[in-house]
Amino acid sequence: MHTISVENYLKAIYHLEQRDGGRVKTKSIAGALDISLPSVTSMLKSLSADDLVVYERYKGVTLSESGRLAALKVVRKHRLIELFLVSTLDYSWDEVHHEAERLEHAISDDLAARIESFLDFPQFDPHGDPIPAADGTLPSREAHALPLSSLASGSMACLERVLDQDPELLRHLTRIGLVPGARVSILEVLPFDGQVNLNIEGSDEPTSVSRALSNILIVTPL
């Protein structure tokens, strides 16, 4: 077991790699974890000594194979906990991230495996994020998935995933019915600011989604 701090670093680097693709800058890690640059640098040296990251000064950092597996293990626990809370304890999807941030460090691999089996080996959490298997493999759906912002008017799509867990945003999405599984048809994409006007199946009124929001809503075209 790694310390909570080490787990949070590995997880942050994993998410930043996913977001930015490739090497992660020290500054991005400092921003994500709200920690000073010198502290991040000294932690990266220690992670590198433990062979969890590959770190070159001024070039940034990537996870080593063992670092990646350790990060995926934390991500796995986080997402299983979120789904467990939503499906068994009536939490809503905007309430679970905060709980999972703490519990992900507390539960054993065995408890995670039992939750996974109790939930019948789910592939995605309530936000549509893929749940890594115990060996670190990720379910693939990502091949056809793309941000809502890349669709043209007239197309139809199913919402798969929301790339932000801000509770206020999630409650807003719940209110307008834009939750994973929702089917939408694009009425219009405004050329000057990228606002998307769309119909959500089951609602009478069209909805508009800002450019920024449409970038973090991941859909599969139908």
Label residues 64-101 b or e (16+ Cβ within 10 Å = b): beebbebbbbbbbbbbbbbbbbbeeeebebbbbbebbe
Nearer to Zn ion, 33 or 156 (CB): 33
Please report how close the Cβ of residue 15 comes to Zn ion at its closest, in angstroms: 10
Nearer to Zn ion, 80 or 189 (CB): 80
Please report how close the Cβ of residue 201 comes to Zn ion at its closest, in angstroms: 26
Nearer to Zn ion, 76 or 97 (CB): 97
Strands of 59-212 (E only): list them. Answer: 60-63, 146-147, 156-162, 183-189, 196-200, 207-209
Burial class (CB in 10 A: 0-12, 13-18, 19+), 151: buried
Please report how close the Cβ of residue 169 comes to Zn ion at its closest, in angstroms: 13
Looking at beta carbons, which residue is closest to Zn ion?
97
Structural contact between residues 128 and 138, judged by C-beta atoms closer than 8 angstroms: no
Please report how close the Cβ of residue 82 comes to Zn ion at its closest, in angstroms: 5
Nearer to Zn ion, 68 or 97 (CB): 97
Please report how close the Cβ of residue 44 comes to Zn ion at its closest, in angstroms: 24
CA 78 – CA 112 distance, rounded (Å): 9
Structural contact between residues 10 and 52, judged by C-beta atoms closer than 8 angstroms: yes
Tokens, residue 35: 């920690």
Q: Which residues bind Zn ion (CB under 5 A)?
A: 97, 165
Nearer to Zn ion, 60 or 105 (CB): 105
